[in-house]
Structure 1
Amino acid sequence: MGGVGMAIMLVVFLVAVVFAANENDVVGWLVVIISLGWLLVFSFVVFTVRSAARKASARIDEFNRTAGGGMAGRGPAAPSAAMRDEKLDHSFKIVQVQARVIRDHLGKDQGMVDRALETIEITSHNARSMMKNNDDGPVEGTVVE
């Protein structure tokens, strides 16, 4: 995209210069100055973004080379296992919150109890799928926290 945009801005600038030179008009030269300014701004943005993208790519490559930063030495499965453990921990927290909702609303608000039970069912299904590497897809429903 940067190359195409740069080409368009350059063509606009050159057309402005040609028209300004043909007309030899103050307004034409003002248009040339404005289009040159936009060309310089666009160039600065494109080259800055490219530089940032290269630096980010280098950092990502460095991170991947060290096997996930602080997880070096644990083998290639360590980052995915750590992510799975974090997701499972989150699932257990959701179940704990929903158990509290059931305790607080039992006998008072059956709708809240039903939604909390549904959330526990969805969360449990998703957690079991993570543990089994089962790809049935998540159970759908309303999550209440």
Structure 2
Amino acid sequence: MQTLGSNGRPSGRGVSMRMGSAGMAVMLVVFLVAVVFAANQNDVIGWLVAIISLGWLLIFSYVVLSLRSAARKAADRIQAHGGFGSAGAPQAGTAAVDRARDLKLDHSFKIVQVQVGVVREYLGKDAEMVERALETIEITSHNARSMMKGSSEGPVEGTVVD
């Protein structure tokens, strides 16, 4: 379990944050060395190298600060939506779970409706097709019931005929 700092964020810093700080320090040292050599040599090429290293330092700083800001916003958003569960997956709100279940149930009912049409079309003409459609209805109905609250039965496996 992580301890939280005074700002409500985890007190430990991630590897990427430490790498960004180390990279920033390296870029700053490169720039300072380029400036020192340019000042000692006092030639145009030395100052061009110093200006180029300053540009790279500014670009690197912008990227690191942007990524840190985005990471903080993402962490705040995740924390606002319930954080992560023990399996590492984001915990969904009950409304999202209910909506997903309702969509799955709706899909199951549509499959049953299609298969009823298949039974009506092939009844008396193709017994094998009717049997497969009835099996699909049975499997789909069982799976839909298992999605409802309070059902402990698992899903049924088989071939679904469209």
**TM-score scaled to structure 2, two decimals?**
0.46
- Which structure carries more relative contact order (alpha carbon 8 Å, separation 6+)? 1
Larger Rg: 2
Higher normalized helix content (fraction of residues): 1
**TM-score scaled to structure 1, two decimals?**
0.50
